[in-house]
Chain A
Amino acid sequence: MNRSEASARSILTGVLERQQTAIAERWVQVQMERGEVGGGLAEDELREEADALVAALSSGLAGDLPVERVVAQHRQLHDAVTDLSMRRARAGTSPTATSLAVLSLKEALLACVAEESLDTRGSLAVARVVNRLVDAAGALSFETYVEGREEIIRRQNRQLMELSTPVVQLWREILAVPLIGNLDTARSQVVMENLLEAIQEHEAAVAIIDITGVPTVDTSVAQHLMQTVKAVRLMGADCVISGIRPGIAQTIVQLGIDLSGIQTRATLADALETAMGLTGQRAPYAPEHP
């Protein structure tokens, strides 16, 4: 670290210590003035966020971490920046507005530094430090924002999967899961969990997995189905797979997938009849075959 940077840093540290409230205040004002930059957050929320970040910046700068590493490595500052971007990512603020919100801190800082009577060279050195700090914060915030959105997408995916795999009770002691769409590993795990929990809750004796809505059955789908059947059996219940269309039966044979030991039926109605037999119940009337 050279001398001019060291002195610029100590000037900035002093400004931050003395004018913490004023800087935070000004930063909030800048964000409020540019509607979108505030991310739709209320003034008091922005204020709270600004206070936390400016305080963290002040304490980070007062420490002995080098300027280029202070944002990444000062825990309080790092967390303040990631909190800000995470909050905006969740609120659906645009990535540009999020970066600009962080970058507008530069304006607030420089405005307060301008009030110090510094010579040109001094001002330039301080501006350089401010730039490096805030740019690092901007980069971190963007990265966090992207990761935050990815997290949201993953969560929504999971919620969507939960919604698309309802377990319904068809009859006393008989449950069914109508599967619609592709059955990948993540989805089959959700199906398995939901089905097993429902079996326990309803004390069900038979679970029917209906694959009418599954477009293709390949080796991995078959494997997922087998695993589900095995888990159902470990719980002490029986499993019937229904909705095996001729095309799918053909694929199963061609791929040499062994589904022996698993009860399969063409239609959900056939499977229900089988399930009633397994539970020692009699259907009130025999289902009509087309």
Chain B
Amino acid sequence: MTHPGEEAHHGGESADAGWALETSEAARSYPVRTEADLLTVRHAVRDATEELGFSLVDQTRVVTAASELVRNAYVHGGGGTLFIDPLRQARGVGIRLVVTDEGPGIEDARQAIVDGFTTGSGLGHGLGGARRLMHTFEVHSVPGKGTMVTAVRWTDR
């Protein structure tokens, strides 16, 4: 079923990097350029999950996952953008986080979500950990072009 407000559209396509950004009309974007942006983004995700009716534990899961993803984009990708996309569908309510950066990309995206893999600071739990906090998790990366991580969590699953 296609809901009027939930039709996927292709905004900000990045044809060079070989993927298309898919977010709904309700999505809002937040820049991740400075360390202060990391906090702003966490607050925005917290507010969004609260409004969507996530339980306190689920709010904490999503905010923590967002924190890992944007720090990853900030530290390894030289900054990027977070899209917060509230999902309200007949099958349920959820939130989609999309984080993009134009950094060096990850050579092996599959390896990056395995625990212990790290190319910089952090525990190497960044992506692998964030994946366990969300219901779906996809990494698209093109070396030299950038990385896009898409993660979804539903309120009731």
Contacts and interface: CB of A to CB of B under 8 A. Distances in A.
B interface, by DSSP: helix, strand, loop or mixed?
loop
Nearest to A157: B156
B7 to A, nearest CB: 8
B119 interface: no
A90 interface: no
Interface residues of A, number: 19
A107 B51 CA distance: 41
Contacts of B1: 72, 140, 143-144
A72 B2 contact: yes
B4 A75 contact: yes
A143 B1 CA distance: 8
A193 B3 CA distance: 34
B112 to A, nearest CB: 23
Nearest to B90: A147
B157 A154 contact: yes
Interface string B128-157: 000000000000000000000000000011
Interface in A175-197: 186, 193
Given A82-B90, A147-B90, A154-B157, A73 B5 contact: no
A158 interface: yes
B57 A193 contact: yes
B157 A143 contact: no
A150 B156 CA distance: 11
B120 interface: no
Given A144-B90, A193-B57, A151 B156 contact: yes
B12 interface: no
Interface string A136-148: 0000100110011
A35 B157 CA distance: 36
Contacts of B92: 151
Given A154-B156, A158-B156, A147 B4 contact: no
Interface string A235-258: 000000000000000000000000
B91 A147 contact: yes
A88 interface: no
A155 interface: yes
Contacts of A86: 90
Interface in A72-103: 72-75, 78, 82, 86
A140 to B, nearest CB: 7
Contacts of A143: 1, 90
A73 B90 contact: no
Contacts of A82: 90
Contacts of B91: 147, 150-151
Contacts of A193: 57
Contacts of B3: 78
B4 A74 contact: yes
B25 to A, nearest CB: 11
B156 A148 contact: no
Interface string A64-78: 000000001111001
Given A147-B90, A147-B91, A155 B156 contact: yes
Nearest to A158: B156
B2 A73 contact: yes
A96 to B, nearest CB: 20
Contacts of A158: 156
A222 B115 CA distance: 20
Contacts of B2: 72-73
Interface of A: 72-75, 78, 82, 86, 140, 143-144, 147-148, 150-151, 154-155, 158, 186, 193
Interface of B: 1-5, 57, 90-92, 156-157
10 contacts: A73-B4, A75-B5, A78-B3, A82-B90, A143-B1, A143-B90, A148-B90, A150-B91, A151-B92, A155-B156
Nearest 7 Cβ contacts at the A-B interface: A147-B90, A75-B4, A73-B4, A147-B91, A144-B90, A143-B1, A154-B156
